[in-house]
């Protein structure tokens, strides 16, 4: 069959169920087909060139076509293409990467569990907490608290902690049984009361969390999961003092803090990890995405030594630790992860990204006065622009998401790959972008925003 854009489009429609895609609309519109990529640029099947404003899905930190990572994967495939780590088997590259990851954690020691995605890693987090609480004789301590608009993946348990509606609708999630709860979104712009300071808003949210824990019974609550900055929920930067107040509630009731660093980890927020930016002391950490710069599917969970010791002490009673994936610790993924971390360190990628932050944030924030922009927010090389129907009242568009969707079409037409989070546009370029490429992203966005504003006005969507 000849490969033309039209045949590819039809073959896609005939054969693929697309994640996070409107199923019937996709049958009409068809896909955007990408064919090759290099650095922060990607090309479609019609030869159009785009610059990446979302690093794939918040993951291609080192950009596309990195020769060293390709060579590493090839070499590892030749040497040892696969070896399971089930039943006490191991390989050096898996050990080396685990040692490296432990050394990056904000606590001493630790043990690493490997998975293939952020979702399965967060499922692992939940299972480890349940296993641990069984092992320490607290079998009733099992409830997990996520946050409305938090994103932790889509598997049954991690998806239950996700607080974004489409992840639940039609899938009978959250799982029932009362183990999956949600607390407030820490978004001052949207949810603070009139005149409420960031600090007071943070206090109120911490009080609400405390009340939730007390209502459920602290002896039944095992863990709280949070991204340092909520990414898919709209790049929501927590209000000042939020995490300090939340963490003291968690400590008071022996509720473990699971830090989801799937997006914020590896230099994204202007520091090596989100826990550096917000001075967090997590009990366990989830990593994925930029761990391999998306050159291989790989995730990792790191838990503290004392948690592991409790599990070990109960091993005779519990029997085999029956959790793991065929590809846990896949040697090719581990080798690529290790090389990615080496490049981050050797090429001072996190420092360079931090140095780009003022320019990136200044260009981002230059949209704050635009009549259709309600809020601009972000940290490091992560940001968002939220559109509103009325700047004064912060009114949402009706129906929500239409303006975001239209803006993305304009961005695509102008050679910019970006993702709408409802009517909020998320920005998360590869960490290797140059200042000129940051300008290119925002110049293209500005042009797209102008066209979107004209359209929204013509459609009568702005309620001024
Ligand atoms: N956690 C966070 C913070 C995420 O943003 C994501 C994905 O975007 C996940 C977990 C789930 O990762 P995956 O899609 O690899 O399962």
Beta bridge partners of 352: none
**Omega within 30 of 0 (cis) for the link into 399:** yes
Given a contact cutoff of 8 angstroms between Cβ atoms, the answer to whether 121 and 300 are in contact is yes
Distance 153 CA to ligand 1 centre (A): 5
Ligand 1: nearest atom to the Cα of 289: 15
pLDDT value at position 4? 76
Tokens standing for residue 456:
């929204």
**Tens of pLDDT along the chain (464 residues)?**
556 777 889 999 999 999 999 999 999 999 999 999 999 999 999 999 999 999 999 999 999 999 999 999 999 999 999 999 999 999 999 999 999 999 999 999 999 999 999 999 999 999 999 999 999 999 999 999 999 999 999 999 999 999 999 999 999 999 999 999 999 999 999 999 999 999 999 999 999 999 999 999 999 999 999 999 999 999 999 999 999 999 999 999 999 999 999 999 999 999 999 999 999 999 999 999 999 999 999 999 999 999 999 999 999 999 999 999 999 999 999 999 999 999 999 999 999 999 999 999 999 999 999 999 999 999 999 999 999 999 999 999 999 999 999 999 999 999 999 999 999 999 999 999 999 999 999 999 999 999 999 999 999 999 86
Write the DSSP assignment of 202-229 as a string of letters.
HHHHHHHHHHHHHHH-GGGEEEEEE-SS
**E runs forming strands in 78-229:** 111-115, 143-147, 180-183, 221-226
Distance in Å, CA 121 to ligand 1 centroid: 9
Total-model pTM: 0.97
Residue 120 alpha carbon to ligand 1 centre in Å = 9
Residue identifier of the C-alpha nearest atom 7 of ligand 1: 153
Q: Strand 143-147 and strand 111-115: pairing?
A: unpaired
* Mutation to probe ligand 1, out of 54, 117, 146, 151 (largest number of atoms < 8 A from CB): 151
Burial zone of 415 (CB within 10 Å; 0-12 exposed, 13-18 middle, 19+ buried): middle
Q: What is the pLDDT of residue 344?
A: 98
Question: Ligand 1 centre and the CA of 100: distance in Å?
Answer: 22
pLDDT at 335: 98
Residue 348, classed as helix, strand or coil, is coil
Q: What is the DSSP letter of 379?
A: E
Give the C-alpha separation, 45 to 456, whole Å. 30
Q: Give which of 12, 18, 64, 40 is closest to 433, Cα–Cα.
A: 40
Pocket test for ligand 1, best of 159, 167, 262 (most atoms within 8 A of CB): 262
Q: Return the DSSP state at 101.
A: H
> What's phi and psi for 384, nearest 5 deg?
-150, 150
Residues lining ligand 1, judged by CB closer than 6 Å?
A: 57-58, 117-119, 122, 151-153, 227, 231-232, 260, 262-263, 288
User: In this structure, which residue's CA is closest to atom 1 in ligand 1?
Assistant: 152
Spatial distance between the Cα atoms of 139 and 131, rounded to a whole number of angstroms? 9
Q: What is the atom index within ligand 1 of the atom nearest the CA of 155?
A: 16
DSSP state of 17: P
């Amino acid at each position: 069959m000849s490969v033309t854009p039209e045949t590819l489009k039809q073959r896609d429609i005939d054969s693929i169920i697309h994640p996070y895609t409107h199923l019937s609309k996709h049958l009409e519109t068809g896909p955007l087909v990408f064919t090759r990529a290099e650095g922060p640029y990607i090309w479609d099947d019609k030869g159009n060139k785009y610059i990446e404003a979302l690093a794939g899905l918040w993951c291609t930190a080192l950009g596309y076509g990195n020769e060293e990572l390709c060579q590493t994967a090839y070499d590892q495939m030749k040497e040892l293409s696969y070896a399971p780590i089930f039943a006490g088997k191991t390989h050096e590259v898996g050990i080396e990467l685990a040692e490296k990851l432990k050394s990056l954690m904000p606590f001493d020691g630790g043990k690493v569990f490997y998975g293939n995605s952020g979702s399965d890693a967060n499922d692992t987090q939940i299972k480890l907490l349940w296993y641990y609480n069984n092992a320490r004789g607290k079998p009733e301590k099992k409830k997990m608290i996520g946050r409305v608009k938090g994103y932790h993946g889509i598997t049954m348990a991690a998806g239950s902690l996700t607080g974004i509606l489409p992840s639940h609708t039609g899938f009978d999630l959250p799982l029932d049984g009362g183990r999956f709860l949600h607390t407030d979104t820490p978004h001052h712009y949207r949810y603070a009361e009139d005149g409420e300071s960031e600090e007071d808003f943070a206090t109120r949210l911490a009080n609400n969390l405390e009340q939730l824990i007390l209502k459920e019974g602290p002896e039944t609550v095992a863990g709280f999961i949070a991204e340092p900055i909520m990414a898919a929920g709209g790049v929501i930067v927590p209000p000042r003092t939020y995490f300090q107040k939340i963490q003291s509630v968690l400590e008071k009731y022996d509720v473990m803090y699971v830090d989801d660093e799937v997006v914020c980890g590896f230099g994204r927020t202007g520091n090596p990890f989100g826990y550096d930016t917000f001075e967090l002391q997590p009990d366990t950490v989830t990593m994925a995405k930029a761990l391999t710069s998306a050159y291989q599917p790989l995730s990792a969970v790191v838990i503290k030594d004392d948690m592991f010791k409790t599990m070990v002490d109960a091993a005779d009673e519990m029997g085999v630790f029956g959790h793991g994936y065929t590809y846990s610790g896949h040697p090719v993924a581990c080798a690529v992860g290790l090389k990615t971390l080496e490049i981050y360190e050797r090429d001072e990628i996190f420092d360079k990204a931090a140095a780009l932050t003022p320019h990136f944030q200044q260009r981002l924030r230059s949209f704050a006065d635009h009549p259709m922009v309600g809020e601009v927010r972000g940290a490091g090389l992560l940001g968002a622009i939220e559109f509103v129907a009325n700047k004064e009242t912060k009114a949402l568009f009706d129906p929500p998401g239409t303006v975001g969707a239209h803006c993305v079409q304009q961005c695509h037409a102008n050679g910019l790959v970006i993702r709408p989070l409802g009517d909020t546009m998320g920005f998360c370029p590869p960490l290797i972008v140059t200042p000129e490429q940051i300008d290119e992203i925002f110049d293209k966005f500005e042009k797209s925003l102008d066209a979107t504003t004209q359209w929204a006005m013509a459609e009568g969507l702005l309620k001024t």
